[in-house]
Amino acid sequence: MCFKRILLSAAVFLLFSTLSFSQKVDLKETATGVDFYLGSQKVLTYQTAKVLVPEGVKEAFSKSGFIHPITSPSGQVLSRIQPKDHYHHYGIWGPWTRATISGREVDFWNLGDEKGRVDFSHILSKKMAGGAAELNVRQNHIDLKAPESEKLAIEEDLRIKLKPADKGRYMVDYTTTIFTKISGGILLDDYRYGGGIGFRATEVWGDANSQILTSEGKDRKNADGTEAKWVMVKGKTSAPQGQSGILFLSHNTNKSHPEPLRVWPVGQYNGEGNVFIEFCPIRNESWELQPNNRYTLKYRIIVFDGDLTAEEAESYWRAFVK
């Protein structure tokens, strides 16, 4: 009898896994973005049109070229844009902060300073193959204070690839390749913010109902400034399991891997709506971009409902870098 139960459990697990991996993926382009579907559910959007800012907010904060919303498999929105504390925060995105160009400081991150910005330029390709949906886009990093007139400083080719994962989860590969044609190159100055991949989480999450864990066992109290192979954010949602989350993986070929983290600490903004994490390869050292050279950073995102253990996170990371 026990043996039959084991066989039945194995069969159910196999069926569940097969169903998870067999979900159809799709891409649909709209007037404002490109939507990724898993089965009949839209799970993320890459924004191609500038999003309007709230009334009374400086127009410079309006932007395109980011992922929002990104949802859990059950449809819980996990990202946030234009929070009142940081109108320049946009879901999942990765502009560089302090850059030196011809001796001048250019900031592509803090849009309100109007020194620089990053926006969607055009779609390079879209395809669906092998059970995955893939979008490749060009993003332009503009130097707004360049002598005479604004100037294209950095071009970025961003690849977003979605496919089903095990246990009803899904994964997104986020691969960014940057290059410049500016004579003399660009120095991405060391700073605690900038580049890599950043995530501003839903306003629902705060100190009391969410957790952060890194590959080195650090949490929100002590993760900031440390290095990690992966970082996981999870918190309370209306999913049937009561919780959802995102695991961010850094590839071992990335600059400064294991990568330094920027993690907002406990108590930030009174502990409410204060979840922000970022892989920041230039946190501890500057990065020189030579003209016409291409520089690539690879990340993978695992999106889930319920729980995801540290052991599973480590397995996902090993599969990513194999």
Domains and CATH numbers, the chain: 2-321 (2.70.98)
pLDDT confidence bin for 21, thresholds 50/70/90: low
Predicted confidence at residue 22, as pLDDT, reads 63
Name the region of 312 (left: φ>0; alpha: ψ -120 to 50; beta: rest). Answer: alpha
pLDDT per residue as tens digits for the range 282-306 = 999 999 999 999 999 999 999 999 9
Give me the pLDDT at residue 35, please: 98
Cβ atoms of 320 and 251 closer than 8 Å: yes
118: three-class secondary structure by DSSP = strand
C-alpha dihedral sign at 94, 98, 99, 104: positive
pLDDT at 23: 86
Give me the mean pLDDT over the 176-200 stretch.
97
On the question of pLDDT at 4 being above 60, the answer is: no
Q: What pTM was estimated for this model as a whole?
A: 0.93
pLDDT at 10: 39
Among 268, 277, 279, 220, CA closest to 85: 268
For residue 247, the one-letter residue type is L
* Predicted confidence (pLDDT) at residue 12 exceeds the cutoff of 60: no
Averaged pLDDT score across all residues of the chain: 94
Portion of the chain with pLDDT greater than 70, in percent: 93
Q: What is the pLDDT of residues 203-249, one digit of tens each?
A: 999 999 999 999 999 999 999 999 999 999 999 999 999 999 999 99
CA–CA–CA angle 200, 111, 50 (5° rounding) = 75
pLDDT digits (tens, 9 = 90+) for 37-90: 999 999 999 999 999 999 999 999 999 999 999 999 999 999 999 999 999 999
- Region label for 225, one of left (φ > 0), alpha (ψ between -120 and 50) or beta (otherwise): left
Nearest to 213 by CA among 131, 138, 313, 63: 313
Cα separation of 136 and 134, whole Å? 7
